[in-house]
A and B are shown apart, each in its own frame.
Chain A
Amino acid sequence: MENKEKNQKKPTKKGIEGIKRSGIVKGFSIISLFIMVPVFFLTALFLVILPRSEVSNIEKRNLAEFPEFSFDALFSGQYTEELGNYYDDTVPYRDELKTVGYNFKSLFGIHTDDEIKVVGKPIEVVNKDGEKKNPDEESKPSDETSKQSSEADSSQSSQPTQTGTDESSVQESSEQEPEYTVENGIIVVKQNGHYRALELFGGGTGNAYVKALNNFNKDFGGKVKIYSMIAPLASEYYTPAGYEGYTASQKECFDSIASRLDEGIVSVDIDTVLGEHKDEDIYFRTDHHWSPLGAYYAAQTFAKAAGVDFKDLSTYKKNDIEGFVGTMYSFTQDANINNDPETFSYYTPDNIDHCTAYYYDTSFNYTGSGNFFNKVGDPTHNAYLTFMGGDEQIVKVKTNIKNGKKLLIVKDSYGNAVPGYLFGAYEEIYVVDMRYFDLNLVDFVNQNKVTDMLFAMVTYSAVGENADNLEILRTQNKGAKITDGAPD
């Protein structure tokens, strides 16, 4: 730039058309401004004037809302902060622009046939010799569990929570047990020409889960049969060579949990069964859930253990949603995931026309009835909402089977894919989300004359914070009146 300054003052004789350099400089500076100024204003107008985004489909959330004005909020700084946040969050074409950005960022690196991208900072949990690394050194005081804190088995992604030892809080309460860092980052791997995102498992004891299930079992005194079915994360089967040390064995964890459950509780080992089918599409590559096919094998194993009827997959109608890209895109922000969509296939039973799903809010107030399988608004991003449309509710399905058997499923979103395979086995199926239930679960089971109770959730929920909710469900609001407002 300095050099150019000199030039302006000393026009050279290089001008080929007899124009002095200073004239050229001025002329082309004006031309340059004629190009730059419109680009600048168009960019600014684009960001300010176009309609603002309201929902992010790749992040599956509603975006910030325009803040309400009040003088209190203005003077505390809250109003201006929220206003800024609103404009940041609701940029026009937000999802599309993010996708352009992620695609650009994928140019930063080398792409090979066996490339791996790491999101977050996984910690080595197993030594090269196969020995576990000192789990007791890390303790995780279990928080006052609330629904907010347990915002899903949908792992909170990128930064696995790192917790240091806090001896005083551990000593203060014997309830607080040392816990591993359950979530351990995500890796994106390329396998057989397709990209797959894998959530790694940092390990864990599942103490809260074991304790709650044993207590439930005591409460029911054998009148209700309890089944425990924990679904492994996909990393159990698809973790590439070299990364085994960064994900703990889920099988070992499940076996340990099974060994500590009371005798009356049946542990359904789906880890082994799913492993036998790992060459099929039992997990989504782009979503943190298993696929309905994976849930089918799980339901089959459960049905066998429970001794109930189970129909072969061939009797189901297969429905395909093409172009599905799930949650792992926003978790990893990896363009490769978005550019490698998959087919979301789900299976509807042949008696589906004779089954009605009754929907209730989290306090069991009836809100309406309909189908268990829903048409989803934006299926390419939200296909998993096909099952009951989501989590934050209680659902009861009445089938055309008359055998007096009633099942209650306590689940996270993994469990959503299971009930559809059991419509030929139970007269009624209740679906309760472990994160969204405001009644006393023991009362609820007794009142509705439930015969079988299935705990169906993924490792992160059974071993992580969500499991703390189970004891709360068992003890909260005891004796409160429960009435079923649904029409018969």
Chain B
Amino acid sequence: MGIGKFRGSGASAFCAAAAIIIDLALLIVFKYSGFIVENINAVSGLGLPVPQIQMPIGISFFTFQAISYIMDCLWETVPPQKSFWKFLLYLSLFPQLVAGPIVRYSVIEEEITNRRSRPSDVSEGAMRAIIGLSKKVIIANNLYAVVEQFFGGDISNMSFLGTWYTVILYSLYVYFDFSGYSDIAIGLGRMFGFHFNENFNYPFICKSISEFWQRWHISLSSFFRDYLFYVPIFGKQRKYLNLFLVWFCTGMWHGASWNFILWGLYFGIFIFIETKIGKKRMKKWNKVLTHIYSKLIIIIGFGIFYFTDLSKLGQFFLNISGASMILSGNSFSDILTLNSLLNNLFLIIFAIIVSMPVLPKIKYFFFTWGNNKVYAFGKIAGTIICCGLLVLSSILLVDNTNNPFLYFRF
């Protein structure tokens, strides 16, 4: 509000800076204090007690929403919200509070005050949320079971193909898990009349790493683009330093662990290289090759994302590069991988198909291209399929309840 009052003067910038510093300080205390102290201990040998702080749910998301609000007010893209309650409503909007997306204030500014929820909003929103739930429960959870089977324990004697197989499934898992959550959030929001922006746009069809990040977790990458990259912290001439700062922060945002930072910087490097090459030149490249290049980088990237334990991450690199075949005689392929592939073949094929923009094409056919009859058929069939998916997801969730394998009667 201070920003609004002193609009255009230096005081507004001061208010904004103070608010952002407080927000970030809270985030650092809750999320990163353990990590920071552990690292200080490791470097200095001081035995500082590592604080065990319970993180408030969704802190990374609502902190960023607050920052985006402050910046938008500062830059006068939106008028400040005069009602404190409505501001709180924006910050704690429950559909996306837990797992994103990061909703910009400008996106829902109008809808916070004037919102209409039509029958079509409720119906579309509900279907979207059910599809999100199904992505999580039917696809992601089952892919993760395979990933844990292979990556969960000791990975030192994993075969070359086994490592590739598992990390590919893990990449699919993260996509379905995360985009499933976003679908649920967007769907729930829609049911109440909010129109959030899309957070994923079929990232695996990208042809470059830059494009991947325009399609993956869009609300986060655009946040960093708008609020960090374009802010010339290191001066306009040193924009590459800024680029790496952005990717450092992107990695860090995902979790308080070195592998996430490494993961962010890893993408930073490829985006740096891609900007040096230039978009136009890359467009002329063979499409098949660019697809292979981008998928390889992304999939290996998810390996970095998985292994929070750096020694296991090192072993992962040895396995996936084939080095452990030479160094410690690991096999090229193994029977367990082959079997797992056969046991999950349809699931994997289905997941790969759904990770490509098939659903929008179906929707276009029924809801836009077709006549009213086709529309009606599509709507009813879609409803029934969603009901089936809801029931199926609920049933599969029963199996996720605790399953401790304890024996009381034997």
Contacts and interface: CB of A to CB of B under 8 A. Distances in A.
Interface string A13-33: 011110101001110111111
A35 B383 contact: yes
Nearest to B383: A32
B335 A26 contact: no
A89 B378 CA distance: 38
Nearest to A105: B142
A382 B409 CA distance: 9
Size bracket, chain A contacts: 35 or more
A109 B405 contact: no
Interface in B117-138: 118-120, 122-124, 126-128
Interface stretch (B102-110, B230-238, B318-326, B367-375): B367-375
Contacts of B390: 36, 39-40, 43
Contacts of B363: 1, 3-4
A38 B409 CA distance: 40
Contacts of B364: 3
Interface in A14-71: 14-17, 19, 21, 24-26, 28-33, 35-36, 39-40, 43, 47, 59-62, 64
Nearest to A64: B402
A40 B122 CA distance: 13
B11 interface: no
Given A108-B347, A110-B342, A118-B339, A156 B119 contact: no
B346 A109 contact: yes
Given A29-B119, A116-B339, A158 B368 contact: no
A161 B373 CA distance: 58
B410 A327 contact: yes
B123 A32 contact: yes
A205 interface: no
Interface stretch (B149-157, B273-281, B300-308): B149-157
Contact of B383 (A36, A116, A333, A384): A36
**By DSSP majority rule, is chain B's interface helix, strand, loop, or mixed?**
helix
Contacts of A30: 119, 123
A15 B371 CA distance: 7
B407 A60 contact: yes
A152 B403 contact: no
A14 B157 CA distance: 62
B315 interface: no
Contacts of A35: 380, 383-384, 387
B372 A24 contact: yes
Contacts of A85: 402
A61 B409 CA distance: 6
B376 A28 contact: yes
A380 interface: no
Contacts of A196: none
A98 B346 contact: no
B410 A120 contact: no
B383 A15 contact: no
A15 B372 CA distance: 5
B395 interface: yes
A158 B405 contact: yes
A374 to B, nearest CB: 13
Nearest to B190: A1
B148 to A, nearest CB: 8
The residue in A8, A25, A60, A85 that gathers the most chain B C-beta atoms within 10 A of its C-beta is: A25
A122 interface: yes
B401 interface: yes
Interface in A336-395: 382, 384-385, 390-391
Contacts of A413: 410
A114 to B, nearest CB: 11
Nearest to B119: A29
Interface in B341-393: 342-347, 360, 363-364, 367-368, 370-373, 375-376, 379-380, 382-384, 386-387, 390-392
Given A43-B394, A151-B407, A159-B153, A16 B373 contact: yes
The residue in A28, A116, A164 that gathers the most chain B C-beta atoms within 10 A of its C-beta is: A28
Nearest to A413: B410
A193 to B, nearest CB: 19
B206 interface: no
B398 interface: yes
A17 B372 CA distance: 9
B408 interface: yes
A7 interface: yes
A242 interface: yes
A100 B395 contact: yes
A101 interface: yes
Nearest to A289: B410
A162 B347 CA distance: 28
A372 to B, nearest CB: 18
Nearest to A390: B409
A247 interface: no
Contacts of A47: 394
A306 interface: no
Contacts of A142: none
Nearest to B366: A4
A8 B153 contact: no
B340 interface: yes
Interface in A152-181: 152, 154, 156-160, 162, 164
Contacts of A16: 371-373
A211 to B, nearest CB: 27
Given A40-B390, A97-B398, A29 B372 contact: no
B336 interface: yes
A159 B122 CA distance: 43
A132 interface: no
A355 to B, nearest CB: 24
A330 interface: yes
B406 interface: yes
Contacts of B142: 105, 108
Contact of B391 (A43, A118, A159): A43
A474 B373 CA distance: 81
Interface string A122-158: 1110000000000000000000000000011010111
A29 B120 contact: yes
Contacts of A108: 142, 343-347
Contacts of A331: 405
A450 interface: no
A483 to B, nearest CB: 29
B399 A98 contact: yes
Contacts of B344: 108-109
Contacts of A104: 392, 395-396
A254 to B, nearest CB: 24
Interface in A89-112: 89, 91, 94, 97-98, 100-102, 104-105, 107-110, 112
Given A8-B120, A25-B375, 19 more contacts: A3-B367, A16-B371, A24-B372, A32-B380, A33-B119, A35-B384, A36-B127, A36-B383, A43-B394, A60-B407, A91-B401, A105-B142, A109-B347, A110-B343, A118-B149, A118-B339, A121-B149, A164-B154, A390-B410
18 contacts: A3-B364, A16-B373, A32-B123, A32-B380, A43-B391, A64-B402, A85-B402, A88-B402, A101-B395, A101-B396, A102-B399, A104-B395, A110-B345, A115-B343, A116-B339, A121-B150, A242-B335, A391-B410
Interface of B: 118-120, 122-124, 126-128, 142, 149-150, 152-154, 157, 335-336, 339-340, 342-347, 360, 363-364, 367-368, 370-373, 375-376, 379-380, 382-384, 386-387, 390-392, 394-396, 398-399, 401-403, 405-410
The 4 A-B residue pairs with the shortest CB-CB distance, nearest first, are: A109-B343, A88-B401, A108-B347, A29-B120
